[in-house]
Structure 1
Amino acid sequence: MDYISLSASDTFGPDEAFFLSRAELDTRRPPRLHTQDFHEMLWVQNGAVRLHTPTGKQDLSEGDLLFISPNQPHGLQGRGEASMVVSLAIRPGVINAIGNRHDDLSGVAFWGRGLEVAHRDIRQLAALNQAALQLERSPRRKLFLEAFLLPLLVALDRPPEGLSTDAPDWLIAACNAAQNPDVFRDGAAGFVASTGRAHPHVSRTMRRFLGNTPSDYVNAQRMEYAARRLTGTSDPLAEIAADCGLPNLSHFHKLFLATHGETPQRYRRARQRELVQPRP
């Protein structure tokens, strides 16, 4: 298939790390797809957009982000009036350098399985647009580009540790949501509710991809949260346990001991002491 090819040498100036632009899309289907030798992130600012690829098409709505790696054929079509996208073209080598420094980005955005799509809600989209305005006013150097990209990449859902990238998107999203006290405070029921699926189906899928149950996963998140609170604050133990959704202190102690091999009090004393006054 014949594609239009875009080149970094025609897109970036000699010292430019990125190029930010906005475009209102034509409502006609693109006559040919195009490829490029640089990375690009774009998001739907307004309206609806149809993404065309060699294997099919996908509709994107306001707030959807698209991460495009080099040599991935694609084309965009507006779906109705005033379909607008914001595009951030990124000089070759910049994204690879970021990925080499941060293993946690595996499976996320440009480091995913192809043309990766994520979504920002209204509040997140407003924050993204504000950050883009600041980037637009900045010098087009790598420092300012990374200052824009890294907070966004941190905020994106990523496969939690132990969960493969071929797990269902709904399970990845639920596991990420379960790191929030508002979800794990309600235990396994809160986790299952965040999936929008039946409990037996969630349990079967978790056993397949994680080897444990919703209750096991939620309790692990609770105990990681408790450990951070114990080390980083002087909050009372009863308050931390309640924030974990475990007002029964005896049950909280048992779970913490089983997870960390120490009682909550011993865990706190040891780590706070060693941080402030290390042992010789």
Structure 2
Amino acid sequence: MNSQLRVSDFLKSGEAFHLARASIDPRRPKGLIERDFPILLWLQNGRMRLYLEETRLDMVEGDVVFLRQSDAHALQARADETLAVMLVLDPALIDGIILRHPGLEARYFWATSREPAMVHRDMRQLAALNQAALRLDRSRRDAHEAEAFLLPFLATLRDGTNQLPPDAPDWLAIACAASEDPKVFREGAAGFARAAGRAHPHVSRTARRYLGKSPSEIVNSNRMAYAARRLTSTSDSLAEIAADCGIPNLSHFHKLFRAHHGMTPQRYRKAHQRDLVQPG
């Protein structure tokens, strides 16, 4: 049975946010939580399963998800000492940000995809996010402080695939956001074109015009970011990871990974594991 929460359960009059840290229960949830407010949720430690209406997402340390008001959810720990951070936000704050920053349309809290948007932060980026959250928690709980936290964070997420000029078509932004989903990038450039809802040659020309990249280059960048997360957060074999990226040819996978990360997948995994034991 679903439970319901209201923003008034967390925010007093004049407050724009509430920050909470919680150890996640390993028991399978009996229902979902319905809300009338958005949440910025990230996994600080451990592994976690995020249940949604039609699917579930497995999260690892450093994953950040933008839960919209419409995203009924539940959480389940999948490892010991799983700790999540949840930033409850005033819906009016989020509505105001998109009005003043239309370049964020179709992304993050304003994503139009079936599933909520999710990004990953590496160890240093996660540490910076936690430090910013600590400063936020000590601040006044007004809209100014909330935006001082949110806008710089969103700016750090803007890379070559989403820095679209104002005159770029909406469908291109939607395709860029969709192409971060494994279900889309496994199909390669064809998946990008399908998400765009346009003919492949037109999609390719438009992507080149506004991004300076082909659909294949955009998709491969997302594939290699996903591969890096899998290498550092699981013990899955290279063959499994390559196949999940939609690249069953291991030689091609190695070539792409090295081009994007400057080292082989094996060296990347070993270097990251060493950093976990002896952080720099």
- Shorter-chain TM-score range: 0.5 to 0.7
Alignment CA distance shift 1:207-1:10 (3 Å): same
What is the RMSD computed on CA atoms of the aligned residues? Answer: 3.2
Aligned length: 197
SS in 1 for 2:205: coil
- Partners of 2:12 and 2:191 in 1: CA distance: 50
Please tell me whether Structure 1 or Structure 2 has the larger radius of gyration of its CA atoms. 1
Q: Which residue of 1 aligns with 2:145?
A: 144
- Partners of 2:162 and 2:180 in 1: CA distance: 6
Q: Which residue of 2 aligns with 1:101?
A: 100
Q: Which residue of 1 aligns with 2:34?
A: 35
Residues 17, 91 of structure 1: 8 Å contact kept: yes
Question: Normalization by structure 2: what TM-score?
Answer: 0.62
Q: CA deviation at 1:210?
A: 3.6
Q: Which residue of 2 aligns with 1:180?
A: none
- Partners of 2:111 and 2:101 in 1: CA distance: 14
Structure 2 gap ranges (5+): 195-199, 215-280
Q: CA deviation at 1:16?
A: 1.4
- Partners of 2:84 and 2:155 in 1: CA distance: 22
- Partners of 1:117 and 1:135 in 2: CA distance: 21
Identity of aligned residues (%): 35
CA-to-partner distance for each residue in 1:11-67, whole Å, 9 max, x for gaps? 111221110010010011111101111111010000111011121211011111111
Q: Which residue of 1 aligns with 2:249?
A: none
Q: Which residue of 2 aligns with 1:159?
A: 162
Letter in 2 for 1:167: A
The one of 203, 211, 214 equivalent to 1:209 is: 203
- Partners of 1:135 and 1:73 in 2: CA distance: 26
Question: Normalization by structure 1: what TM-score?
Answer: 0.62
CA-to-partner distance for each residue in 1:39-97, whole Å, 9 max, x for gaps? 11010000111011121211011111111111321111100101110000012211001
- Partners of 2:213 and 2:53 in 1: CA distance: 44
Asked if 1:110 corresponds to 2:109, the answer is yes
Q: CA deviation at 1:108?
A: 1.7
Alignment CA distance shift 1:196-1:62 (3 Å): same
Q: Which residue of 2 aligns with 1:183?
A: none
Alignment CA distance shift 1:217-1:34 (3 Å): closer
Residues 25, 78 of structure 1: 8 Å contact kept: yes
- Partners of 2:213 and 2:79 in 1: CA distance: 47
Residues 108, 156 of structure 1: 8 Å contact kept: no
- Partners of 2:93 and 2:138 in 1: CA distance: 20
Alignment CA distance shift 1:167-1:27 (3 Å): same
Q: CA deviation at 1:209?
A: 2.4
Q: Which residue of 1 aligns with 2:46?
A: 47
Asked if 1:26 corresponds to 2:25, the answer is yes
- Partners of 2:128 and 2:121 in 1: CA distance: 9
Asked if 1:8 corresponds to 2:16, the answer is no
Structure 1 gap ranges (5+): 174-194, 221-280
CA-to-partner distance for each residue in 1:73-128, whole Å, 9 max, x for gaps? 11111001011100000122110011111111112210112511111111211111
